[in-house]
Structure formats: structure tokens, C-alpha cells
Amino acid sequence: MSARSISPRPRVLIVDDSALMRALLKRMLAADGDIDVVGAACDAEEARALIPKLSPDVITLDVELPGMNGITFLERLMRSRPMPVIIVSSHTVSGASATIQALQAGALDVVAKPARRSDMEGFASALRDKVRGARHARLPGFRPAPSTPSAIRPTASAHGRRLIAIGASTGGVGAISSVLAQLPADMPPIVITQHMPPGYLERLAHRLAHQLSRDVAPAEEGEVLAPGMIRLAPSDRHLTVSGRAPHYRVRLSDGPPVSGHRPSVDVLFNSVAQSAGSDALGVLMTGMGRDGAAGLKAMRDAGAYCIGQSRDSCVVYGMPRAAAELGAVDEEIDLDEIAQKIVSVVTLPLISQAAK
């Protein structure tokens, strides 16, 4: 992890090519009086010059920059001077695609630029909250996720776990990408809830499908989950699982936010606990807050094997910590070891696991 001195108040550097947006972001960030905007840059070159002079705690970054694009800037920053970066992205298709690439490259989180004036207040509040949380983030040394599945191979067993449920928030895009890239293709179906603003989860699924050459897609109402499938909760909808093994089925809901989120990890995990019980494996990864902790406890109480990402490998040790405090975790594991553990658990007969 990178050691950083943290200021009493977050020191923010804004990087955006629009003078109007730079001024707007500065005003929004300073509104509550507990965040200091120490500088603003119109492109990557100016930002690179300002960083050593200003020593910001957090950078807000528009990835669509003139000259050196935001992705190249971010990748170089993560290699030379890792620090929390929050993407402030447009709603365009190109903006969403670049944002997903940035999150895989080490950016911490994303806030979508408001499309309407009525969205301004919510955008400003979300941005301030993410900046406050970001300055305490732990930054693992960035290693790109493998572009092809690793050599981890399962030993087929008719008696192992037949459903995998994963939840994550801040820092989760890179963590989930890394784990999925290490898993073999012939795994049980995997269902995932990742907190992201509307419109980005679909681009994440598309990018993962392309990178991994796997059946990765946003979940669709009523589809039957089959081995090899990876399904993500779609934007602004809860993902749940119904049915009984081996015929698990996707259900989607427009219900109210749970644990402050829609989609919610708690909603997914609670449904898996009810439908799959001991047939499931749950993984709760990096993220702020508590979403997923209670749901993981329900899964463990129902007989599922439950993994929490370790403190030292989390960008934000919030959700896994809350789960550990509830007694919801069988073991905490470093990010680099989660894929291997998943393979060993889903392929080991349940009677052997119960005997341990």
C-alpha cells in the first residue's frame, strides 16, 4: 500500500478542460467549508506540473481531455505517485466507456456530470461525500487485471457450491475485474452487484465480456442462470435470485434503495441466502459503508461459504469490515488470492467443507 500523509481537510486538485466546469466544481466542493480546492488544471500536462507543487490528497478527473487523455494521465500517475482519483464523467457513450477503463486502471470512484439543472444538488452532495471518503482510501500498487483467464483449473464435482454472489462498491471495478480474469470459464454462474451511477454498469459488462471473451452481461428478468454465465445488476435495479438448484433464475426489482443503494448488495445476498443456502458462495469486496454486511450474514447463517476481502488489499475497508464485525465472514483473503479460494470452495464437496 502507498503511504500518504493525510491533511485534516481534503486538499483537492480539479482536472477538467472546461473553465465553466472547473469553476462549478470548485464552488460545489467548497460549499460546506470542510474541503480545500488547492488548484485546477485544464489538461493533463498542467495537472502533472501542479501535483508536486500542491500535494493534493484527492484529484477529480475528467477523462476526456485534450492532448494527453485522462486514461494515459491516470495510468502514469498510478505508477509514479498513486493517489485517490475520482472520475467526473459525462453521460455520453464514449465518456462512460472511458470511465470504466479509468476505474480498471486504478481510479477510485465515479460521479456522473449532471444532465439537468435539477440534478445539480445531488451531484454536488455525492461529489463531496466521495472526496471526503477518498482521502482515507488505501491504494494498492496498481497491477492491470490479466486480459485472459489464468491457469487456475477446477476439479469437477457435482457436490460443490453451484452459485457465486459478489458485491463491491468503491474500488470494486478493478478488484472484480482482477478476480474474474483469474477464474476459469467453466465456473458456476456468478451474480454481481457493484455500486455505480446509472448508465455505467452496462458499459462495464460490455468491457468485461470483450476483455475476458466470456458470457458477461447485465442481468435480464427471468433468465435462467447456467454455468459460465456472469451477470451484473443493471443500472438502478435490484438484482435477486429465485428458484432452487440447479435452476436458479434472475429477478429484477425497482424497489426502494436498501442500505442506501439501488442496486443493493444486501438485496442480492439476502435472495441468495433464501434460494441457494449452502449451495452458494458469497464474496464481499472493497467499498464504503455497510451494504452487503447483513446480507452476507444471512448467507452464512443459511450455510453459504462467505469471504471478505482483507483490510490490507481493500481500497476502502468498509463493507468487508462491517461484515466481519457481524460474524458474517468465514475468512478474509487478500485480493490476489480470492480467485484461487473461489475455485477451491466451489469444487470441494460440501461434506468435506463441513468437516473442516
In terms of Cα–Cα distance, which of 236, 238, 172, 251 is closest to 208? Answer: 172
Distance, in Å, from the CA atom of 305 to the CA atom of 293, rounded to the nearest integer, reads 14
pLDDT single digits (tens) 285-331: 999 999 999 999 999 999 999 999 999 999 999 999 999 999 999 99
Q: In what order do the strands lie in the sheet with 229-232?
A: 215-218, 229-232, 190-194, 163-168, 280-284, 305-309, 331-333
- The dihedral through the CA atoms of 51, 177, 303, 152 has a sign that is negative
The answer on pLDDT for 151 being more than 60 is: no
At residue 48, what is the residue type? R
Question: Are the CB atoms for 109 and 264 separated by under 8 Å?
Answer: no
In 3-state terms, what secondary structure has residue 258?
Answer: strand
Active site members: 169, 195, 291
- Our CA angle for 111, 268, 276, nearest 5°, is 155
Lowest mean pLDDT: which of 102-111, 132-141, 177-186, 192-201?
Answer: 132-141
pLDDT single digits (tens) 334-356: 999 999 999 999 987 654 454 44
Cell for 321? Answer: 469490515
Q: In what order do the strands lie in the sheet with 58-61?
A: 36-41, 11-15, 58-61, 85-89, 109-112
CATH 3.40.50.180 boundaries in the chain: 163-355
CATH 3.40.50.2300 boundaries in the chain: 11-134
Q: Write down the pLDDT at residue 355.
A: 47
Question: Are the CB atoms for 234 and 202 separated by under 8 Å?
Answer: yes
- Our CA angle for 231, 335, 74, nearest 5°, is 85
In terms of Cα–Cα distance, which of 18, 98, 3 is closest to 66? Answer: 18
Q: Write down the pLDDT at residue 71.
A: 92
Question: Are the CB atoms for 280 and 310 separated by under 8 Å?
Answer: no
Q: How confident is the model at residue 123 (pLDDT cuts 50, 70, 90)?
A: very high
Question: Are the CB atoms for 174 and 141 separated by under 8 Å?
Answer: no
Q: Please give the average per-residue pLDDT across 46-69, as a whole number.
A: 94
Beta-strand runs (E) in 286-344: 305-309, 331-333
Distance, in Å, from the CA atom of 278 to the CA atom of 335, rounded to the nearest integer, reads 23
pLDDT single digits (tens) 38-55: 999 999 999 999 999 999
Task: Please state the CATH superfamily assignment of the domain spanning residues 11-134 in this structure.
Answer: Response regulator (3.40.50.2300)
Residues 6+ apart with CB under 8 A from 280: 161, 162, 163, 164, 165, 272, 273, 299, 302, 304, 305
Higher pLDDT, 309 or 152: 309
pLDDT single digits (tens) 216-246: 999 999 999 999 999 999 999 999 999 998 8
Task: Quickly name the fold that domain 163-355 has.
Answer: Rossmann fold (3.40.50)
Q: How confident is the model at residue 272 (pLDDT cuts 50, 70, 90)?
A: very high
Q: How confident is the model at residue 161 (pLDDT cuts 50, 70, 90)?
A: confident
* Length of the chain, in residues: 356
Q: What average pLDDT does the structure give for the chain?
A: 90
